[in-house]
Amino acid sequence: MTIYNFCAGPAMLPTAVMRKAQQEFCDYQGLGVSVMELSHRSPEYMAVAEKAEQDLRELMAIPDNYAVLFLHGGARGQFSAIPLNLLGQGKALYLESGQWSVAAATEAEKYGDIERVDLRCESRTLDLSRIPADTSEYAYVHYCPNETVDGVAMFDVPEVAAPLVADLSSCILGRDLDVSQFALLYAGAQKNIGPAGLTLVIVRRDLLGNADSRCPAILDYQLAANHDSMYNTPPTFAWYLAGEVFQWLKHQGGVAAMAEVNRRKADKLYGFIDASDFYRNAVAPSHRSEMNVTFQLHDAQLDKRFLAEAEAAGLKALKGHRMVGGMRASIYNAMPEAGVDALVQFMDHFARTYG
């Protein structure tokens, strides 16, 4: 039986990447050691690291005036690093669209003057008109384009004068975006890039060098950039695997090709849910995530049975986040369209049995 893993994170990785990593696990390119046993400063590892960065730059068309950092600490680490590096004596604005953007604001408040604007409306949509017209007074504006827990997305990049910071943890490389519209982009790797333990930061170079004097060295962007992300030992194996995923993405035709498949997968699933009176999704269609599809059963008493039967059918980790309940199917780049087809088929069968 084919297993499809819908976990929000750590999420499934492309099978081809896992097979290749398995093949070279104990003996990387005839060196007789694993890539994870190599010094991060060895020429062999440096080549891995540099290729990963070059491939990511190509995939996202990252301009030269941006540094790409491969760090530790997850996206939550960046919730602290961002104010410590960018806030200075100023204040920042946090747009709240769901659980993660709220968590980012709460962490940032430890370090300085943070203002929040809640964009969420009763009707499970976002009111973008609440974003202040003039943001020039802020050191930066932070937002989260894809709210992993809520299944809510903000597809239009907010038009703000202040430097724009975005948490791309669950949507990076899922569709094209214009890096030059942003001051800083960041993502924990474990959703759409690779294994947990690696965090990507893409930051405009003119913003480096302003870290607060109390900023821990390992969170200081300038230090990381000066040392090619090797100020301390980087998460070498996760970096290597991320590089393998980037190569795989290039073979798939790059981000534009992935975006097309992602759109199709999401449309299929939302289309089925909308056509059914057994399942529902309450998010406004214009704000529905393409990566994390949340849905509820008409009768929550059936949730346990749904999850147990899904598991038995090889469809794993469909339980919604404990904060919102219901179900969630995370369908990142690595989820093949056949996985979504299998899920829809199962959901249809379940609804016919218990509806």
Ligand X SMILES: *Cc1c(COP(=O)(O)O)cnc(C)c1O
Binding residues (CB under 6 A) for ligand X: these are 9, 74-76, 100, 144, 148, 167, 169-170, 188, 191
Catalytic residue among 55, 100, 220, 319: 100
Minimum distance from CB of 97 to ligand X (Å)?
10
Minimum distance from CB of 149 to ligand X (Å)?
7
Is the Cβ of residue 135 or residue 169 nearer to ligand X in the bound state?
A: 169
Tell how far CA 117 is from the center of its chain: 22
DSSP 3-state of 160: coil
Is 248 marked within a binding site? no
DSSP collapsed to 3 states, 161-188: CCCEEEECCCCCCCCCCCHHHCCEEEEE
Which tokens hold the place of 250? 């290039």
Instruction: Output Rg (C-alpha) for the chain, integer angstroms.
Output: 21
Q: Is 239 marked active-site? A: no
Catalytic residue among 191, 220, 228, 265: 191
Minimum distance from CB of 227 to ligand X (Å)?
22
Minimum distance from CB of 12 to ligand X (Å)?
15
Q: Is 191 marked active-site? A: yes
Is the Cβ of residue 147 or residue 350 nearer to ligand X in the bound state?
A: 147
Q: Is 100 marked active-site? A: yes
Let me know: does 223 contact 231? Beta carbons within 8 Å: yes
Is the Cβ of residue 14 or residue 151 nearer to ligand X in the bound state?
A: 151
Catalytic residue among 150, 167, 220, 228: 167
CA angle 74, 159, 162 (to 5 degrees): 65
Closest CA to 273 of 293, 291, 259, 287: 293
Segments in the chain forming alpha helices (H): 15-23, 43-60, 74-86, 99-108, 221-226, 236-251, 254-275, 303-312, 337-354
Is the Cβ of residue 141 or residue 344 nearer to ligand X in the bound state?
A: 141
Is 233 marked within a binding site? yes
Which residues are annotated binding-site positions for L-glutamate?
A: 41
Q: Catalytic residues, which ones?
A: 100, 167, 191
